Amino acid sequence: MATLVRWEPFREIAALQNEMGRFMNGLLEGNGRTNEAWVPALDVWETEDELVYALDLPGIPEDKISVELDDGALTISAERERAQEEAQDRFYRYERRYGTFSRTVGVPQGVTESDVAAESENGVLEVHVKKPKQPKPKRIQVGAAAGATIEGKSEKK
């Protein structure tokens, strides 16, 4: 028996983007995880009126977060600083990523700066992008109701 699974294109695009990023990092920087760039995971969902992009950015103050819209692309960048703690007789292990990151995602054509709003709460950045209004098809009357006339000659042979 076959199981039907709803196709979610944004989830598949995000998964493909993550896999390609890992692949390219492995090729360009070697296979060591120490060289891997820090890029937070991105969730994308759609409501009736907007697209919402959410990133986990714990420990990053709002003044270190930048959201820019340029030519149909939304770029989110931020910087997490590494806290330096030193002790003479203790070993510290750093596993959390730090440094700067930049992530660019496409937005629908026709989105302007006034259509984008960002808010950060409890370490989660949400960027809300209003969907642009799509032009509706116009109905064109055909025939006598439209007052149209067709001129020409018909010749019989």
CA distance 73 to 10: 16
Position 79 in a domain: yes
Position 146 in a domain: no
> Is pLDDT above 60 for 152?
no
CATH of the domain at 118: 2.60.40.790
* Eight-state DSSP code of residue 11: H
Position 21 in a domain: no
Position 15 in a domain: no
Q: What is the pLDDT, as a whole number, of residue 138?
A: 83
Name the CA dihedral angle for 104, 111, 133, 50, rounded to a multiple of 10 degrees. Answer: 50
Position 19 in a domain: no
Helix H or strand E segment including 102: strand 99-106
Q: Which domain holds residue 89?
A: 38-134
pLDDT tens digit string along 93-128? 667 777 888 999 988 888 889 999 999 999 899 999
CA distance 78 to 73: 17
Position 100 in a domain: yes
pLDDT tens digit string along 51-99? 999 999 988 889 889 999 998 899 999 988 876 666 666 656 667 777 8
Position 29 in a domain: no
Q: What is the pLDDT, as a whole number, of residue 10?
A: 78
pTM score of the predicted model: 0.59
**C-alpha pair distances (Å), 88 with each of 68, 83, 85, 94, 152:** 43, 17, 10, 16, 99
> Is pLDDT above 60 for 29?
no
Position 130 in a domain: yes
Let me know: does 14 contact 8? Beta carbons within 8 Å.
Answer: no
Q: What is the pLDDT, as a whole number, of residue 11?
A: 79
Count of domains observed in the chain: 1
> Chain-wide mean pLDDT for the chain?
79
